[in-house]
Structures are given as C-alpha cells and as structure tokens.
A and B are shown apart, each in its own frame.
Chain A
C-alpha cells in the first residue's frame, strides 16, 4: 500500500527558504507511470499546484512560483523534496506531497497527510 509522508519545519521566517521532504513507502519513485508532486492549500487560494518531478529528473513548475521553487528526487531513498525560497506570509499553507498518475488526466491518486507551514518572524 503506497504511503507518502511530508516532513520539515512547521515555522519558517520571512525571506528564508522553506524545505520539505516527502518519504514514499510501499511503491517505487522510479516508476515510469507516475510523477511526484507538491500541492499546497490555503483558505484564501484553495488548492495550488507547486510543481512535479518525473523519475528522469524532469521538473515542471507553476509559472507563478517557478523563480523560487526547486523540486528534487532521490530514488535511492524513495524521497522527493521541495525548496521554496524567499518566503513571505503568503506562503503560509498546508503543503501536500502526492503521486500523480502519468496518464488519464494527471490526477493525484495518493496524497500525504499534509503539513502546515507558517511563515512568521
């Protein structure tokens, strides 16, 4: 049974870099059928896709966040990571990692439980 679990600091200071890791168990991050992504949720903006990485290392980012986002994948550890630089209060959100099906609409069929990250001094 595939499981994803986010980990990282729950509080980040403004202008610093948010770093989160998603650990995947019960499945392979080397599969050619899936992508691995980060999605965040705020009360005001709803669900917002941050970016996606494929097993090959190819990345796809939300244009509105692209200049600040880096997603990386470590298949040997079955982990993928998110770095979001120069954060502001607007980046306060629940951050989810997810497996994204690489066909049929690219839906996210498995999600982590989500981790709340607050940006505050």
Chain B
C-alpha cells in the first residue's frame, strides 16, 4: 500500500509569510494528489486536485506542485483565515489514503 508522509506536522508562521507543506508518497503516483483544508470542528474542504489544479472558489494564494513521489502545497501569503490543518490524499485502485496532516498556526 502507498503511504503518504507529510512534513512538517505543524508550523507557526506570520501573516503574509510564504508557507510550504510537503507530502511524500512511498511509491510513484504520477500527479494523483489531492489537498484538503480542515478548520476546527469542520469537515475537510477540497482545495487542489491533480496535484496543482485549484478547486473552484479557492483563493489563488494557494498552489500545488510536484509529481511522482514529492508534492507541495504552498500558501503564497498566509492569511488569518488560512489557520487550519492541511491533508494530502492519494488513491490506488480506488482505495484512498491520507497523509497525517500539517497544522498551520499564526505566530
């Protein structure tokens, strides 16, 4: 089974900072990575699919990149409303796997 390892598990940044989260797959998965944002007490929200395509309505400060085994989610200028936990997800034979999550906090 493919495992997803996210890093860091948490980070603290200032408003306006550029923030990058990584997701590493244990095997090559082409560009089949999804990114979610989850705020406390809420369900996850789909942000990015196919590694780099923004879901409709997602602010352009969010971007995704990578292919193969190494992927990134970048927030170009952190905003207070971006405080959340971010998860990556992949699928293999229609079986979904999630990364462990990265909690983003404001300094």
Contacts and interface: CB of A to CB of B under 8 A. Distances in A.
Nearest to B93: A60
A22 to B, nearest CB: 12
A35 B1 CA distance: 21
Contact of A105 (B32, B44, B95): B32
Interface in A1-56: 35, 37, 39, 46-49, 52
Interface in A92-111: 96, 98, 100-101, 104-109, 111
B91 A105 contact: yes
Contacts of A112: 43
Contact of B95 (A47, A49, A108, A109): A49
B24 interface: no
Interface residues of B, number: 28
Given A47-B87, A101-B49, A108 B44 contact: yes
Contacts of A109: 46, 55
B44 A113 contact: no
Contacts of A48: 98
Interface of B: 1, 32-34, 36, 42-46, 49-51, 53, 55, 87, 89-91, 93-101
A37 B96 contact: yes
25 contacts: A35-B94, A37-B96, A39-B96, A46-B99, A46-B100, A47-B89, A48-B98, A49-B96, A52-B94, A52-B96, A63-B1, A104-B50, A105-B49, A105-B90, A106-B32, A106-B34, A106-B91, A108-B34, A108-B36, A108-B44, A111-B44, A111-B45, A112-B43, A113-B42, A113-B43
A106 B96 contact: yes
A111 B89 CA distance: 15
A105 B97 contact: no
Given A37-B96, A46-B99, A107-B89, 10 more contacts: A46-B98, A46-B101, A47-B101, A49-B98, A101-B49, A104-B53, A105-B90, A106-B94, A111-B44, A113-B42
